Amino acid sequence: MSALPAAENLLGTFLRARRTKLDPAAFGFPAERRRTPGLRREEVAQRANISLTWYAWLEQGRGGAPSADVLDRIARALMLTDIEREHLFLLGLGRPPEARYRKSQGVTPRLQRVLDALDPSPAVIRTATWDVVAWNRAATVVLMDYGALPVEQRNMLRFIFLDPRARDAHYDWESMARLVLGIFRLDSARAGAAADVEPLVDELSRRSPEFNAMWRDHAVPSPHGEAVKHLRHPVLGPLAFEISAFAVDGRTDLSLLVYNPVAPADAERIASLLEPR
């Protein structure tokens, strides 16, 4: 039985596989008869602005580890998706690429169906800047009617620090605000969205003295954050939730936030608000 291929050969195999799937004519290369499908090595090297020798060595498992810049150029040359680009970096450098934040343009119908299936657990999808871009009916009746807000106001930090209803809903508003601000700081840094959060931070620093003071503390949450979130609902009264956050399809710009009722009775009371009247 032959030995498993080395990491360098796995990289070469991946590069060849992606190269052969591309249509030369789509990139302006001659479409004459070719011995093998896809782009030639020299065409990939040309698109990536690297030497043919260096690219050939990568496919052959020679020359050592490539730089992140070279891998980024090859990823663009081969038109790799975000997931394929991450796989390329794992093969070439043994680590994922640095975060590359891109603003969300909403969610797919499939993701909305995932949210809807989570009723009566409130669930939202938020960006790295904590703009809420999708939600289910349970989130509307328990957290906020995001659909009634202008798009630019559907932001979780704006609600926490600028809307009096947030203070009414939380039993210990200050502790909650410090915790979520630390999580927000980590989320935006991981996603590479530091530049995109600056306008929001500037606005909240001007409009909320509490935000300004907490942001200047540069606090980050401990690994053992609040286990259960307690809310005071205007109709249902006290509610307790376990909150879980999940990455969405490997995208750095989106996360799924699920509020799972701790008590079955709480879930039943939320479900009663979702029933047609």
Whats the size of the chain, residue-wise?
Answer: 277
* Terminal CA-CA length for the chain: 68
Residues 17, 73, single domain; the answer is yes
Task: Determine, yes or no, domain membership for 168.
Answer: yes
Residues 23, 124, single domain; the answer is no
Task: Determine, yes or no, domain membership for 30.
Answer: yes
Mean pLDDT of the chain: 85
| Residue that is last in its domain, among 93, 127, 146 | 93
Task: Determine, yes or no, domain membership for 102.
Answer: no
Task: Determine, yes or no, domain membership for 100.
Answer: no
Task: Determine, yes or no, domain membership for 1.
Answer: no
- pLDDT at residue 159, as a whole number: 94
- Assess whether pLDDT exceeds 50 at residue 224: no
Task: Determine, yes or no, domain membership for 133.
Answer: yes
pLDDT tens for 245-255 read: 888 875 667 88
Q: What is the CATH number of the domain that holds 76?
A: 1.10.260.40
pLDDT tens for 97-124 read: 776 555 556 678 888 999 999 999 999 9
Q: Taking the mean position of all CA atoms in its chain, how far away is CA 113?
A: 18
| Residue that is last in its domain, among 29, 60, 93 | 93
Rounded to whole angstroms, how far apart are CA atoms 205 and 194?
16
Residues 86, 124, single domain; the answer is no
Count of alpha carbons within 13 angstroms of residue 147, beta-carbon side: 8
| Residue that is last in its domain, among 33, 61, 93 | 93
Residues 63, 122, single domain; the answer is no
- Assess whether pLDDT exceeds 50 at residue 154: yes
- Tell me if 75 sits within 8 A of 85, measured CB to CB: yes
Angle at alpha carbon of residue 93, lines to 87 and 95, rounded to 5°: 65
Angle at alpha carbon of residue 97, lines to 93 and 101, rounded to 5°: 175
Residues 43, 119, single domain; the answer is no
Residues 79, 127, single domain; the answer is no
Q: How many domains does the chain have?
A: 2
Long-range contacts formed by 188-194: CB under 8 A, 24+ apart: 188/128, 188/129, 190/99, 190/128, 190/252, 191/99, 191/101, 191/128, 191/252, 191/253, 192/98, 192/99, 192/100, 192/101, 192/252, 193/99, 193/101, 193/128, 193/129, 193/252, 193/253
Average pLDDT on 131-147 reads: 94
Residues 167, 238, single domain; the answer is yes
82-93 helix and 68-77 helix, angle to the nearest 10 degrees: 140
Task: Determine, yes or no, domain membership for 129.
Answer: yes
> How sure is the predictor about 35, in pLDDT bands with cuts at 50, 70 and 90?
confident
- Tell me if 169 sits within 8 A of 233, measured CB to CB: yes
Residues 252, 141, single domain; the answer is yes
Q: What is the CATH number of the domain that holds 263?
A: 3.30.450.180
Task: Determine, yes or no, domain membership for 53.
Answer: yes
CA-based radius of gyration for the chain: 24
Residues 120, 255, single domain; the answer is yes
Residues 60, 116, single domain; the answer is no
> How sure is the predictor about 10, in pLDDT bands with cuts at 50, 70 and 90?
confident
Q: Domain residues for 157?
A: 109-274
Rounded to whole angstroms, how far apart are CA atoms 93 and 146?
42
Residues 196, 264, single domain; the answer is yes
- Residue 2: how many other CB atoms lie within 10 Å: 4
Residue that is written with structure tokens 């630019």 in the block: 152
Residues 73, 45, single domain; the answer is yes
In what helix (H) or strand (E) does residue 215 lie, and over which residues does it extend?
helix 209-217
